[in-house]
Amino acid sequence: MQTNDWRALYRAKKTTPEAAAALIRSGDGVAMPGAASWPYAVDAALTRQLRASGGHIQLNALFTPVDTELLKPENAPLVDYYVNFLAGERAMIPQGNVHFVPTHLSQNGAWICARRPRVTVITCAPPDENGFMSRSISASHLDRAVLEQSELLIVEVNPRLPRLASEGECNHLVHVSEAVAIVESDHLLAENPSPAPTETDRAIAGLIADLVPDGACVQFGQGGLPNAVGECLAYAGKRDLGVHTEVLTNCVMKLMQQGVVNNSRKTLCRGRSAGALCVGDQELWTFADGNPDFCFKEVRWINDPRNIAQNDNVISINNAIEIDLTGQVNAESIGPRMYSGTGGQLEWVIGSQWSRGGKSILALRSSYRDKQGVLHSKIVPQLAPGAVVTTPRTCVQYVATEYGIADLKFKSCRERAKALVAIAHPDFRGELEKHLPL
Protein backbone atom coordinates (compact mmCIF):
# COMPACT_ATOMS: atom_id res chain seq x y z
CA MET A 1 0.00 0.00 0.00
CA GLN A 2 1.33 3.45 -0.95
CA THR A 3 1.91 6.05 1.76
CA ASN A 4 -0.63 8.42 0.23
CA ASP A 5 -3.22 5.64 0.18
CA TRP A 6 -3.15 5.05 3.91
CA ARG A 7 -3.25 8.76 4.66
CA ALA A 8 -6.38 9.10 2.53
CA LEU A 9 -7.88 6.07 4.26
CA TYR A 10 -7.13 7.60 7.65
CA ARG A 11 -8.91 10.81 6.72
CA ALA A 12 -11.89 8.88 5.34
CA LYS A 13 -12.24 6.71 8.44
CA LYS A 14 -11.74 9.51 10.95
CA THR A 15 -14.96 10.27 12.79
CA THR A 16 -16.39 11.47 16.08
CA PRO A 17 -16.70 9.33 19.23
CA GLU A 18 -20.48 9.57 18.91
CA ALA A 19 -20.46 8.29 15.31
CA ALA A 20 -18.13 5.44 16.24
CA ALA A 21 -20.29 4.48 19.23
CA ALA A 22 -23.37 4.48 16.98
CA LEU A 23 -21.85 1.51 15.13
CA ILE A 24 -22.34 -0.55 18.30
CA ARG A 25 -25.82 -2.03 18.63
CA SER A 26 -27.77 -3.08 21.70
CA GLY A 27 -27.08 -6.76 22.33
CA ASP A 28 -23.56 -6.60 20.91
CA GLY A 29 -20.55 -8.23 22.47
CA VAL A 30 -17.74 -5.68 22.71
CA ALA A 31 -14.05 -6.24 23.46
CA MET A 32 -11.84 -3.50 24.86
CA PRO A 33 -8.29 -3.24 26.24
CA GLY A 34 -7.69 -2.04 29.78
CA ALA A 35 -5.43 0.01 32.02
CA ALA A 36 -3.81 3.01 30.30
CA SER A 37 -5.04 1.71 26.91
CA TRP A 38 -8.71 2.17 27.81
CA PRO A 39 -10.61 3.95 24.97
CA TYR A 40 -12.05 6.78 27.04
CA ALA A 41 -13.62 8.79 24.21
CA VAL A 42 -15.59 5.84 22.79
CA ASP A 43 -16.41 4.65 26.33
CA ALA A 44 -18.05 7.98 27.21
CA ALA A 45 -19.95 8.23 23.92
CA LEU A 46 -21.16 4.64 24.12
CA THR A 47 -22.35 5.14 27.69
CA ARG A 48 -24.38 8.20 26.66
CA GLN A 49 -25.88 6.22 23.77
CA LEU A 50 -26.86 3.26 25.97
CA ARG A 51 -28.37 5.52 28.62
CA ALA A 52 -30.42 7.36 26.02
CA SER A 53 -31.66 4.20 24.28
CA GLY A 54 -31.89 1.81 27.23
CA GLY A 55 -29.64 -0.58 25.34
CA HIS A 56 -27.38 -3.29 26.72
CA ILE A 57 -23.98 -4.73 25.76
CA GLN A 58 -21.71 -7.54 26.88
CA LEU A 59 -18.25 -6.12 27.62
CA ASN A 60 -15.17 -8.36 27.53
CA ALA A 61 -12.03 -6.80 28.99
CA LEU A 62 -9.63 -6.78 31.95
CA PHE A 63 -7.65 -4.27 34.04
CA THR A 64 -10.53 -1.85 33.46
CA PRO A 65 -9.83 1.58 35.02
CA VAL A 66 -12.02 2.61 37.92
CA ASP A 67 -12.95 5.87 36.17
CA THR A 68 -14.59 4.27 33.15
CA GLU A 69 -18.10 5.53 32.39
CA LEU A 70 -19.48 2.16 31.23
CA LEU A 71 -18.84 0.48 34.57
CA LYS A 72 -20.06 3.14 36.95
CA PRO A 73 -22.62 1.70 39.41
CA GLU A 74 -25.52 3.62 37.88
CA ASN A 75 -24.80 2.01 34.51
CA ALA A 76 -24.84 -1.58 35.75
CA PRO A 77 -28.19 -2.37 33.99
CA LEU A 78 -26.58 -1.41 30.67
CA VAL A 79 -23.51 -3.67 30.77
CA ASP A 80 -22.60 -7.24 31.65
CA TYR A 81 -18.85 -7.25 32.18
CA TYR A 82 -16.77 -10.44 31.69
CA VAL A 83 -13.22 -10.39 33.02
CA ASN A 84 -10.47 -12.91 33.85
CA PHE A 85 -8.43 -10.85 36.31
CA LEU A 86 -9.64 -8.54 39.06
CA ALA A 87 -7.77 -5.39 40.05
CA GLY A 88 -9.79 -2.17 40.21
CA GLU A 89 -12.76 -4.38 39.32
CA ARG A 90 -12.92 -5.63 42.95
CA ALA A 91 -14.75 -2.45 43.88
CA MET A 92 -17.27 -3.09 41.10
CA ILE A 93 -18.31 -6.58 42.21
CA PRO A 94 -21.21 -5.38 44.44
CA GLN A 95 -22.82 -3.88 41.33
CA GLY A 96 -23.81 -7.42 40.30
CA ASN A 97 -22.76 -7.14 36.65
CA VAL A 98 -19.14 -8.35 36.94
CA HIS A 99 -18.60 -11.98 35.88
CA PHE A 100 -15.27 -13.73 36.46
CA VAL A 101 -13.86 -16.06 33.78
CA PRO A 102 -11.14 -18.46 35.09
CA THR A 103 -8.37 -18.66 32.49
CA HIS A 104 -4.62 -18.37 32.11
CA LEU A 105 -3.37 -14.95 30.99
CA SER A 106 -2.11 -16.33 27.66
CA GLN A 107 -5.71 -17.36 26.91
CA ASN A 108 -7.02 -13.78 26.97
CA GLY A 109 -7.60 -13.75 23.25
CA ALA A 110 -9.05 -17.26 23.20
CA TRP A 111 -11.66 -16.67 25.89
CA ILE A 112 -12.70 -13.35 24.40
CA CYS A 113 -13.01 -15.00 20.97
CA ALA A 114 -15.16 -17.71 22.56
CA ARG A 115 -17.64 -15.01 23.59
CA ARG A 116 -17.72 -13.83 19.95
CA PRO A 117 -17.72 -10.02 20.29
CA ARG A 118 -19.12 -8.28 17.26
CA VAL A 119 -17.08 -5.13 17.91
CA THR A 120 -13.54 -4.57 19.14
CA VAL A 121 -12.42 -1.13 20.29
CA ILE A 122 -8.69 -0.57 20.81
CA THR A 123 -6.35 2.36 21.38
CA CYS A 124 -3.21 2.93 19.34
CA ALA A 125 -0.34 5.35 18.94
CA PRO A 126 -0.49 7.46 15.74
CA PRO A 127 0.48 5.71 12.48
CA ASP A 128 4.09 5.40 11.36
CA GLU A 129 5.25 6.32 7.86
CA ASN A 130 3.73 3.10 6.49
CA GLY A 131 0.34 3.44 8.19
CA PHE A 132 0.98 0.93 10.98
CA MET A 133 -0.23 1.81 14.48
CA SER A 134 1.23 0.41 17.70
CA ARG A 135 -1.32 -1.10 20.09
CA SER A 136 1.08 0.22 22.67
CA ILE A 137 1.20 -0.34 26.41
CA SER A 138 -1.81 -2.40 27.50
CA ALA A 139 -3.73 -3.63 24.47
CA SER A 140 -1.89 -6.82 23.54
CA HIS A 141 -4.25 -9.12 25.44
CA LEU A 142 -6.73 -8.42 22.63
CA ASP A 143 -4.64 -10.46 20.25
CA ARG A 144 -5.02 -10.55 16.51
CA ALA A 145 -7.53 -13.39 16.67
CA VAL A 146 -9.96 -11.08 18.48
CA LEU A 147 -9.43 -8.28 15.99
CA GLU A 148 -9.91 -10.59 13.00
CA GLN A 149 -12.96 -12.37 14.39
CA SER A 150 -14.81 -9.14 15.16
CA GLU A 151 -17.06 -7.69 12.49
CA LEU A 152 -16.01 -4.12 13.34
CA LEU A 153 -12.69 -2.70 14.57
CA ILE A 154 -12.82 0.80 16.04
CA VAL A 155 -9.46 2.45 16.77
CA GLU A 156 -9.01 5.35 19.18
CA VAL A 157 -5.72 7.08 18.34
CA ASN A 158 -3.96 8.85 21.21
CA PRO A 159 -0.66 10.68 20.59
CA ARG A 160 0.27 10.23 24.25
CA LEU A 161 0.69 6.49 23.70
CA PRO A 162 4.26 5.40 22.94
CA ARG A 163 5.15 3.48 19.81
CA LEU A 164 6.58 0.20 21.06
CA ALA A 165 9.09 -1.86 19.09
CA SER A 166 7.21 -4.88 17.76
CA GLU A 167 7.52 -6.99 14.63
CA GLY A 168 7.19 -10.52 13.32
CA GLU A 169 4.98 -13.17 14.88
CA CYS A 170 2.30 -11.95 17.33
CA ASN A 171 3.30 -8.30 16.94
CA HIS A 172 1.43 -5.28 18.33
CA LEU A 173 0.82 -3.57 14.99
CA VAL A 174 -2.49 -2.67 13.34
CA HIS A 175 -2.75 -1.03 9.91
CA VAL A 176 -5.02 1.91 9.22
CA SER A 177 -6.78 -0.19 6.56
CA GLU A 178 -8.03 -2.65 9.20
CA ALA A 179 -10.10 -0.08 11.08
CA VAL A 180 -13.72 0.65 10.27
CA ALA A 181 -13.66 3.90 12.23
CA ILE A 182 -10.88 6.02 13.73
CA VAL A 183 -11.42 8.39 16.64
CA GLU A 184 -8.75 10.81 17.81
CA SER A 185 -8.30 11.36 21.54
CA ASP A 186 -5.84 13.15 23.79
CA HIS A 187 -6.76 11.54 27.10
CA LEU A 188 -4.11 11.54 29.82
CA LEU A 189 -2.64 8.09 30.44
CA ALA A 190 -3.30 6.59 33.86
CA GLU A 191 0.05 6.03 35.55
CA ASN A 192 0.62 3.00 37.76
CA PRO A 193 3.80 3.50 39.79
CA SER A 194 4.84 0.50 41.84
CA PRO A 195 4.77 0.83 45.63
CA ALA A 196 8.05 1.18 47.46
CA PRO A 197 9.41 -2.09 48.85
CA THR A 198 8.94 -2.81 52.55
CA GLU A 199 11.68 -4.20 54.77
CA THR A 200 10.00 -7.60 54.49
CA ASP A 201 10.04 -7.29 50.69
CA ARG A 202 13.76 -6.53 50.83
CA ALA A 203 14.44 -9.51 53.08
CA ILE A 204 12.66 -11.86 50.68
CA ALA A 205 14.29 -10.21 47.67
CA GLY A 206 17.78 -10.71 49.09
CA LEU A 207 17.17 -14.43 49.37
CA ILE A 208 15.74 -14.61 45.85
CA ALA A 209 18.67 -12.69 44.37
CA ASP A 210 21.02 -15.40 45.62
CA LEU A 211 19.22 -17.86 43.32
CA VAL A 212 19.78 -15.70 40.22
CA PRO A 213 23.06 -16.48 38.41
CA ASP A 214 24.81 -14.14 35.99
CA GLY A 215 23.27 -14.50 32.54
CA ALA A 216 19.86 -15.58 33.87
CA CYS A 217 16.65 -14.57 32.10
CA VAL A 218 14.30 -13.08 34.70
CA GLN A 219 10.53 -12.70 34.84
CA PHE A 220 9.37 -9.84 37.05
CA GLY A 221 5.87 -9.01 38.20
CA GLN A 222 4.53 -5.76 39.64
CA GLY A 223 4.70 -4.39 43.16
CA GLY A 224 7.13 -3.77 45.96
CA LEU A 225 8.71 -7.22 45.93
CA PRO A 226 9.81 -7.20 42.25
CA ASN A 227 11.24 -3.71 42.78
CA ALA A 228 13.17 -5.00 45.78
CA VAL A 229 14.46 -7.94 43.74
CA GLY A 230 15.68 -5.51 41.10
CA GLU A 231 17.48 -3.44 43.74
CA CYS A 232 19.15 -6.56 45.15
CA LEU A 233 20.26 -7.79 41.72
CA ALA A 234 21.90 -4.44 41.03
CA TYR A 235 23.48 -4.28 44.50
CA ALA A 236 24.82 -7.83 44.15
CA GLY A 237 26.54 -6.88 40.89
CA LYS A 238 24.70 -9.41 38.72
CA ARG A 239 25.74 -9.28 35.08
CA ASP A 240 24.33 -10.02 31.63
CA LEU A 241 20.78 -10.59 32.84
CA GLY A 242 17.96 -10.99 30.35
CA VAL A 243 14.26 -10.20 30.65
CA HIS A 244 11.31 -12.15 29.24
CA THR A 245 8.19 -11.19 31.17
CA GLU A 246 4.52 -10.43 30.69
CA VAL A 247 4.79 -6.96 32.31
CA LEU A 248 7.67 -4.58 31.63
CA THR A 249 7.91 -2.04 34.47
CA ASN A 250 10.04 0.81 35.77
CA CYS A 251 12.09 -1.82 37.60
CA VAL A 252 13.16 -3.37 34.27
CA MET A 253 13.88 0.09 32.85
CA LYS A 254 16.24 0.90 35.73
CA LEU A 255 18.09 -2.41 35.38
CA MET A 256 18.52 -1.74 31.66
CA GLN A 257 19.81 1.77 32.35
CA GLN A 258 22.24 0.40 34.95
CA GLY A 259 23.56 -2.21 32.53
CA VAL A 260 22.48 -5.09 34.78
CA VAL A 261 20.06 -6.20 32.04
CA ASN A 262 21.57 -6.36 28.55
CA ASN A 263 19.89 -9.56 27.26
CA SER A 264 23.21 -10.70 25.77
CA ARG A 265 22.83 -14.37 26.71
CA LYS A 266 19.22 -14.93 25.69
CA THR A 267 18.21 -17.32 22.92
CA LEU A 268 14.82 -15.75 22.17
CA CYS A 269 14.81 -12.01 21.39
CA ARG A 270 18.54 -11.81 22.07
CA GLY A 271 19.69 -8.34 23.01
CA ARG A 272 16.15 -7.16 23.79
CA SER A 273 13.84 -7.13 26.82
CA ALA A 274 10.72 -9.03 25.77
CA GLY A 275 7.26 -8.39 27.20
CA ALA A 276 3.58 -8.01 26.45
CA LEU A 277 2.44 -5.08 28.60
CA CYS A 278 4.18 -1.87 29.67
CA VAL A 279 2.93 -0.82 33.11
CA GLY A 280 4.38 2.13 34.99
CA ASP A 281 4.60 5.88 34.58
CA GLN A 282 5.52 8.52 32.04
CA GLU A 283 9.25 7.99 32.60
CA LEU A 284 8.90 4.37 31.50
CA TRP A 285 6.74 5.19 28.48
CA THR A 286 9.21 7.85 27.32
CA PHE A 287 12.05 5.34 27.71
CA ALA A 288 10.13 2.65 25.79
CA ASP A 289 8.91 4.91 22.97
CA GLY A 290 10.63 3.65 19.80
CA ASN A 291 13.34 1.95 21.88
CA PRO A 292 14.82 -0.96 19.86
CA ASP A 293 16.11 -2.57 23.07
CA PHE A 294 12.56 -3.78 23.70
CA CYS A 295 10.62 -6.51 21.90
CA PHE A 296 6.86 -6.38 22.49
CA LYS A 297 4.68 -9.35 21.57
CA GLU A 298 1.11 -10.41 22.31
CA VAL A 299 0.67 -12.01 25.71
CA ARG A 300 -0.23 -15.39 24.18
CA TRP A 301 3.30 -15.53 22.73
CA ILE A 302 5.16 -14.12 25.71
CA ASN A 303 3.43 -16.42 28.23
CA ASP A 304 3.57 -19.58 26.15
CA PRO A 305 5.69 -22.00 28.27
CA ARG A 306 7.25 -23.33 25.06
CA ASN A 307 8.59 -19.84 24.31
CA ILE A 308 9.58 -19.15 27.90
CA ALA A 309 11.64 -22.34 27.96
CA GLN A 310 13.66 -21.44 24.87
CA ASN A 311 15.82 -19.21 27.05
CA ASP A 312 18.24 -20.87 29.47
CA ASN A 313 18.28 -20.14 33.20
CA VAL A 314 14.81 -18.59 33.30
CA ILE A 315 14.01 -17.38 36.83
CA SER A 316 10.30 -16.76 37.36
CA ILE A 317 9.16 -14.84 40.45
CA ASN A 318 5.47 -14.85 41.37
CA ASN A 319 3.45 -13.93 44.44
CA ALA A 320 1.13 -16.08 46.53
CA ILE A 321 -1.63 -15.40 49.06
CA GLU A 322 -1.24 -18.62 51.02
CA ILE A 323 0.29 -22.08 50.74
CA ASP A 324 -0.61 -25.28 52.54
CA LEU A 325 1.83 -27.77 54.03
CA THR A 326 1.71 -30.02 50.96
CA GLY A 327 2.64 -27.13 48.65
CA GLN A 328 -0.72 -26.17 47.13
CA VAL A 329 -0.58 -22.46 46.27
CA ASN A 330 -3.48 -20.01 46.29
CA ALA A 331 -2.60 -16.75 44.54
CA GLU A 332 -6.03 -15.44 43.60
CA SER A 333 -8.76 -15.71 46.24
CA ILE A 334 -9.55 -14.90 49.86
CA GLY A 335 -11.35 -18.10 50.72
CA PRO A 336 -14.07 -18.38 48.05
CA ARG A 337 -13.99 -14.64 47.23
CA MET A 338 -12.01 -13.85 44.10
CA TYR A 339 -9.29 -11.28 44.70
CA SER A 340 -7.30 -11.26 41.44
CA GLY A 341 -7.05 -14.17 39.01
CA THR A 342 -4.88 -17.00 37.77
CA GLY A 343 -2.93 -14.57 35.62
CA GLY A 344 0.20 -16.08 34.15
CA GLN A 345 1.49 -17.78 37.29
CA LEU A 346 1.17 -21.42 36.27
CA GLU A 347 2.49 -20.66 32.78
CA TRP A 348 5.65 -19.18 34.28
CA VAL A 349 6.00 -21.91 36.91
CA ILE A 350 5.97 -24.51 34.13
CA GLY A 351 7.94 -22.56 31.52
CA SER A 352 10.78 -21.67 33.89
CA GLN A 353 11.20 -25.28 34.98
CA TRP A 354 11.21 -26.45 31.36
CA SER A 355 14.07 -23.99 30.78
CA ARG A 356 17.57 -25.48 31.01
CA GLY A 357 18.84 -24.39 34.42
CA GLY A 358 15.57 -22.56 35.13
CA LYS A 359 13.95 -22.00 38.53
CA SER A 360 10.42 -21.18 39.62
CA ILE A 361 10.11 -19.09 42.80
CA LEU A 362 6.82 -18.40 44.57
CA ALA A 363 7.17 -15.65 47.15
CA LEU A 364 4.95 -14.59 50.03
CA ARG A 365 5.26 -12.86 53.36
CA SER A 366 5.16 -15.41 56.15
CA SER A 367 2.24 -13.73 57.93
CA TYR A 368 -0.28 -10.90 57.86
CA ARG A 369 -2.39 -8.94 60.33
CA ASP A 370 -6.16 -8.73 59.94
CA LYS A 371 -8.22 -5.60 60.48
CA GLN A 372 -8.25 -6.25 64.23
CA GLY A 373 -4.46 -6.46 64.29
CA VAL A 374 -4.36 -10.22 64.87
CA LEU A 375 -1.38 -12.00 63.28
CA HIS A 376 -2.07 -14.95 60.95
CA SER A 377 0.25 -17.34 59.15
CA LYS A 378 0.23 -17.50 55.35
CA ILE A 379 1.66 -21.02 55.56
CA VAL A 380 -1.29 -23.12 56.72
CA PRO A 381 -2.14 -26.79 57.34
CA GLN A 382 -4.91 -26.52 54.74
CA LEU A 383 -6.00 -23.76 52.40
CA ALA A 384 -8.97 -21.71 53.59
CA PRO A 385 -12.36 -23.26 52.74
CA GLY A 386 -13.27 -22.38 49.17
CA ALA A 387 -9.78 -21.11 48.32
CA VAL A 388 -8.59 -21.56 44.74
CA VAL A 389 -5.55 -23.68 43.92
CA THR A 390 -3.62 -21.55 41.42
CA THR A 391 -0.51 -23.74 41.26
CA PRO A 392 -0.83 -27.43 42.15
CA ARG A 393 1.70 -28.92 44.52
CA THR A 394 3.13 -31.09 41.74
CA CYS A 395 4.41 -27.97 39.96
CA VAL A 396 5.85 -26.02 42.91
CA GLN A 397 9.64 -25.70 43.15
CA TYR A 398 11.01 -22.91 45.39
CA VAL A 399 8.94 -21.07 48.01
CA ALA A 400 10.40 -17.92 49.57
CA THR A 401 9.47 -15.96 52.71
CA GLU A 402 11.51 -13.50 54.73
CA TYR A 403 12.70 -16.47 56.83
CA GLY A 404 14.24 -18.49 54.04
CA ILE A 405 13.67 -20.52 50.89
CA ALA A 406 12.18 -24.02 50.75
CA ASP A 407 12.87 -26.30 47.78
CA LEU A 408 9.83 -28.57 47.47
CA LYS A 409 10.65 -30.22 44.15
CA PHE A 410 10.41 -34.02 44.34
CA LYS A 411 10.15 -33.96 48.14
CA SER A 412 7.75 -36.23 50.03
CA CYS A 413 4.71 -34.64 51.66
CA ARG A 414 6.39 -34.80 55.07
CA GLU A 415 9.65 -33.34 53.74
CA ARG A 416 7.73 -30.55 52.06
CA ALA A 417 5.84 -29.73 55.22
CA LYS A 418 9.03 -29.61 57.31
CA ALA A 419 10.68 -27.32 54.78
CA LEU A 420 7.69 -24.96 54.83
CA VAL A 421 7.49 -24.94 58.62
CA ALA A 422 11.13 -23.85 58.69
CA ILE A 423 10.33 -20.68 56.69
CA ALA A 424 7.05 -19.90 58.48
CA HIS A 425 6.76 -17.08 61.02
CA PRO A 426 8.32 -18.36 64.29
CA ASP A 427 5.08 -17.73 66.20
CA PHE A 428 3.31 -20.43 64.15
CA ARG A 429 5.94 -23.11 63.71
CA GLY A 430 4.92 -25.08 66.81
CA GLU A 431 1.29 -25.27 65.75
CA LEU A 432 2.16 -26.13 62.15
CA GLU A 433 4.40 -29.00 63.28
CA LYS A 434 1.30 -30.65 64.83
CA HIS A 435 -0.08 -31.01 61.30
CA LEU A 436 2.89 -32.67 59.61
CA PRO A 437 1.67 -35.44 57.29
CA LEU A 438 2.92 -38.97 57.73
Q: Which residues are catalytic?
A: 246
Q: Is 400 helix (H, G, I), strand (E, B) or coil?
A: strand
Closest C-alpha to 124, from 68, 243, 42: 42
Closest CA to 277 of 288, 269, 267: 288
User: Contact at 8 Å (CB) between 161 and 133?
Assistant: no
Q: How far apart are CA 26 and CA 40, in angstroms?
A: 19
Buried b (16+ CB within 10 A) or exposed e, 183-219: bbbebebbebebeebeebbbbbbbbbbeebeebbbbb
- Other residues' Cβ atoms within 10 Å of the Cβ of residue 339: 15
Strand-pairing partners, residue 123, are 156
Please state whether 313 falls in left (phi above 0), alpha (psi between -120 and 50) or beta.
left
Residues 333, 337, 343, CA angle at the centre, nearest 5°? 35
For residue 36, which of 172, 140, 114 has the smallest C-alpha distance? Answer: 140
Q: How many helices (H) and strands (E) does the chain have?
A: 14, 25
